[in-house]
Structure 1
């Protein structure tokens, strides 16, 4: 069973996404910020990270830099309802970017591709 870490400071979005992924058969962990996510990455060793970009503390792009810097080979899907100019400079650090509200078909396709690539 693949493990997915969901990171979003919006509780409603995070819980909805985590519940959906759980129903699809994934083992899901979730947290509300990037700093807590680093602890979960170390202890749970997820196969995929889905992270909001705009969060207090360590945002999604910063988290992607840290994860790659620590040599974790974990694909990251970034999501946001905001356009972010940093995205184009960070392309080497994340697998995909999906705008909110999430299109479920796009999400499922990207999850499948990311997990296949990481295997």
Structure 2
């Protein structure tokens, strides 16, 4: 069973993603901030990460950089409410960039494609 790590400081988004991806047959872990995400990433490496950008403490771009240094093979999908971050050079290290929406079908399709 493929494991997804969801990193988002919005608990309602986190719960939505957890439920949706568990229903799709994935094992799901979650973190509310970048520091906890990096610890989970090191201790129990996921097969894919869904990462928010705007978070307290370490922002998503910094978390992305550190994750790619630890294990560049793990795909990271940035899921942000802000489309303008697509232009941020730091976001280019992600494997995909999906703008948050109440309809998460694009995110689900992206995850399925990246996990094969």
* TM norm structure 2: 0.90
Distance 2:63 2:87 in 1: 13
- Could you say which residue in structure 2 is the equivalent of 1:25? 25
- Indicate the SS of the match to 2:83: coil
Q: Structure 1: 5+ residue runs without aligned partners?
A: none
Query: In the alignment, is residue 111 of structure 1 matched against residue 101 of structure 2?
Result: no
Matched position secondary structure for 2:36: helix
Deviations 1:28-49 (A, max 9, x none): 0001011100110111110000
Aligned residues: 116
Q: Secondary structure at the match of 2:5?
A: strand
User: 2:95, 2:43 → 1: CA distance?
Assistant: 22
TM superposition shift of 1:92: 4.3
In structure 2, list runs of 5 or more residues that go unmatched.
none
Deviates more, 1:94-103 or 1:55-64: 94-103
| Alignment RMSD | 1.7
Relative to 1, partners in 2 of residues 1:57 and 1:67: Cα closer, same or farther, differing over 3 Å? same
Match of 2:83 in 1: 83
Moved more, 1-10 or 84-93: 84-93
Q: TM-score, normalised by structure 1?
A: 0.88
Once the two structures are TM-superposed, the CA of residue 88 in structure 1 deviates from its matched residue by 3.9
Change (3 A) 1:35 1:99: same
